Structure 1
Amino acid sequence: MADASNFRASLLEAIPSLRAFAVSLTKNSDRADDLVQETLVKAWDKQSSFQPGTNLRAWLFTILRNEFYSQMRKRGREVQDSDGSITARLSIHPSQDGSLDLDDFRKALELLPEDQREAIVLIGASGFSYEEAAEICGCAVGTIKSRVSRARTRLQEILHISGEGDYGPDGVSAQVTSSNIVA
């Protein structure tokens, strides 16, 4: 027990130095914080492999450096697609009608006020509960429910939808536009 508390105290002491090193590698304080956090998690998980009496800071810096380079290699294999243009070219919809419906839906979604769009995407597309969405948005659950309701109503008006059979190539789009979803 004393070894674990000493190890913990040593980890806490090393945080400022680890963060400074991480900032020098990443050139970004947010990424540096994530890197330090990942380093501490890995160190805690692998504390049994640390040999007492050796240099803990050097061991932590090695973990941080290795994690940084692992992330860089991973990023090198990933494709940046922030606007979705690459993904749009890769996806194939089952029919032309489904593709056109999806395009119409995207356009309609862009017409919603930002708070309604955010709420409908969190609930309908991302699958968060109302409580989780409220926590993410920093507002009351009732506010999220109201935003989602207004967003669904507005989407139905924009897309001229009178029932579930009027829209959607798949179950997800039907879920987003349906007002029958239970919280």
Structure 2
Amino acid sequence: MEGSMDALVCEHPAQMVHGAIEAQLPALRRFAQRLTCSLSDREDLVQETVMRALRSSRQFHANTQLRSWLFTIMRNTFNTEYRRRCREPVGLDDGVFERLSISAPQEWAVRRSELRCAIGRLPPRSRRTLLLVAMGVSYIDTARLCGCEIGTVKSRVNRARKMLEDEIGRPGTL
């Protein structure tokens, strides 16, 4: 009896952890349920917590509450995983690339050439006004550069867009 008592006293806390973790699984599952809704995520979280606890069982101190220690590991694991997921882009479902189609680049080159020619046929004042606005220059600055009123700039841009639409079609239609 005395020899077995010495064995218990000499037992390392890490060995105690290995045996006691199984008893804490129901509490870990309940705590995981509070953190995540998905059953599979919950089971993954419990499994990852147990794996981390076993790996770092040498760091467990005998005067520490095992349940609190495991809950801390689980919370930290959950937080780490949450932050990692926030940084990752949302994935696409399988086969989405097969369903996507891309227009041939030659078509875009032809459309760009048609647009360039159509812009060249615009009246010079309308062309200059449209190009300034298309480059991101504000209406006020465009009016200043063209030496006219803001209303005139808006009218020129509107007429130029209409002329282009009549000549080559609406944007986005091929």
Q: TM-score range by the shorter chain?
A: 0.3 to 0.5
TM-score (norm 2): 0.46
TM-score for both structures, normalised by structure 1:
0.44
Which structure has the larger Rg? 2
